[in-house]
């Protein structure tokens, strides 16, 4: 079994540690790397703590590095890990600069190591089912995607409101839906976005080379205690499919019946979606890619960079009020 180094020990690092432990790999977490120790190291009982990344990178038993640090640190940490011959699971967004993401992709290729950006929504079972339905041709040619995402302000991340660290709402939060829109509609070519009030919802319209169009509504300011809400609807020339998910917090326990609804000339079909921990599914997939030495086709870095470009264009459009070409 490959050893794992977990970089960071905030909310996302604890989420990764919990998922790794649930997969029966908790004892494989050999290092926790962070500026200072915390009391909640029970998630990684066999891990040693250090504030020096090189301690983990020099350890020959460490094969995998999971990076869960604020985004400005991603490029440096991932680069060092890849150069040290480690496989890398990198929390989204990949970086704040697409050029840095492209450099990481080249480093991974040269090092022949697996580099996967943790776009966890790709592993939500309902979203995966939608991809299967659309990919099977049931909806015909896809014309439009509508997505909505809402949650309470992430109080666990005091840096979240600092755009220079998080990238702001489009980059750190809405990027999941931009990624989904790209996944279904292809090459994005332009963006127009608006926000009518401070901390109001952000609406982005994305145009695609194949004449598709996506509309994404993002609102991370629900009152404390409100469930996380995520919804997506696909429109094809042969029908529609939609999915809505309500969650207590992280993508684990659904607050009610979760289903995909498909409407075509053959009728309306309601397909139940099994509640699964998407972080477990994501990390399980990544570790399988490492074990089999294969590229993570379910979440390739090129897609993460493309979603970042859309997110940055949304941010630029919000500032200028203009349509931004990609």
Which CATH number goes with the domain that contains 98? 3.40.50.720
Q: Are 39 and 61 in contact (CB under 8 A)?
A: no
What's the alpha-carbon Rg for the chain, to the nearest Å? Answer: 20
- My answer on whether 107 and 173 are in the same domain is no
Average predicted confidence (pLDDT) for the chain = 93
What is the predicted pLDDT for the residue at 142?
Answer: 98
Q: Which residues of 226-252 are buried (b: 16+ CB within 10 A; e: fewer)?
A: ebbbbbbbbbbeebbbbbbbebeebbb
**How many separate domains does the chain show?**
2
pLDDT tens-digit series, residues 173-182: 999 999 999 9
Q: How far apart are CA 231 and CA 243, in angstroms?
A: 6
At residue 85, does pLDDT exceed 70?
yes
Of 92, 118, 144, the last residue of a domain is: 118
Indicate the DSSP class of residue 28.
G
Per-residue model confidence as pLDDT tens digits over 298-307? 999 999 999 9
If asked whether residues 131 and 265 sit together in one domain, one would say yes
Per-residue pLDDT, 302: 97
User: What whole-number distance in Å separates Cα of residue 148 and Cα of residue 218?
Assistant: 6
Q: How far is CA 290 from the centre of its chain?
A: 19
Length of the chain: 326
- Edge to edge, the sheet with strand 62-67 lists 48-50, 29-33, 3-7, 62-67, 87-91, 115-118
Mean pLDDT for 166-185 is: 96
How wide is the angle at C-alpha 318 spanned by C-alphas 198 and 164, nearest 5°?
80
pTM: 0.94
Q: Are residues 8 and 98 in the same domain?
A: yes
Give me the domain span that covers residue 108: 3-118
Asked if residue 97 and residue 128 are part of one domain, the reply reads: no
Asked whether residue 217 is assigned to any structural domain, the reply reads yes
Q: Tell me which of 176 and 41 has the higher pLDDT.
A: 176
Which CATH number covers residue 192?
Answer: 3.30.360.10
DSSP string, 29-77: EEEEE-SS--S-GGGSTTPEEES-HHHHHT-TTEEEEEE-S-GGGHHHH
Give the residue from 87, 118, 149 where a domain finishes: 118
In this structure, the answer to whether residues 169 and 54 fall within a common structural domain is: no
- Is residue 318 scored above 70 in pLDDT? yes
Q: Are residues 95 and 136 in the same domain?
A: no
2 membership: H or E segment, kind and range: none
% of the chain at pLDDT higher than 90: 83
Mean pLDDT across 109-137: 96
Confidence of residue 252 (pLDDT cuts 50, 70, 90): very low
- Cβ atoms of residues 87 and 290 within 8 Å: yes
């Amino acid at each position: 079994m490959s050893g794992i180094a977990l970089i960071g020990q905030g909310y996302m690092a604890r989420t990764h540690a919990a998922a790794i432990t649930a997969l029966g790999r908790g004892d494989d977490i050999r290092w926790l790397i962070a500026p200072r120790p915390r009391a909640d190291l029970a998630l990684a009982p066999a891990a040693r703590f250090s504030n020096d990344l090189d301690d983990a990178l020099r350890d020959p038993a460490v094969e995998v590095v999971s990076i869960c640090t604020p985004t400005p640190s991603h490029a440096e940490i991932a680069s060092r890990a890849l150069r040290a011959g480690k496989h890398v699971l990198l929390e989204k967004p990949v970086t704040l600069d697409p050029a840095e993401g492209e450099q990481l992709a080249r480093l991974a290729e040269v090092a022949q190591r697996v580099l996967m950006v943790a776009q966890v929504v790709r592993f939500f079972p309902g979203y995966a089912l939608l991809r299967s339905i659309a990919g099977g041709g049931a909806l015909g040619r896809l014309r439009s995607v509508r997505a909505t995402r809402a949650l309470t302000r992430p109080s666990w991340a005091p840096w979240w409101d600092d755009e220079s660290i998080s990238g702001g709402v489009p980059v750190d939060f809405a990027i999941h839906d931009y990624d989904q829109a790209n996944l279904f509609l292809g090459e994005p070519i332009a963006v127009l976005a608006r926000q009518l009030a401070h901390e109001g919802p952000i609406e982005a319209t994305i145009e695609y080379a194949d004449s598709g169009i996506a509309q994404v509504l993002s609102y991370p300011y629900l009152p404390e205690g409100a469930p996380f809400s995520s919804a997506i609807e696909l429109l094809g020339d042969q029908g529609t499919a939609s999915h809505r998910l309500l969650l207590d917090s992280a993508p684990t326990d659904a607050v009610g019946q979760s289903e995909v609804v498909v409407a075509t000339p053959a009728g309306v079909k309601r397909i139940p979606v099994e509640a699964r921990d998407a972080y477990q599914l994501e990390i399980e997939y990544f570790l399988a890619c490492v074990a089999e030495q294969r590229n993570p086709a379910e979440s390739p870095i090129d897609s993460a960079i493309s979603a970042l470009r859309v997110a940055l264009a949304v941010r630029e459009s919000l500032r200028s009020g203009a349509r931004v070409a990609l």
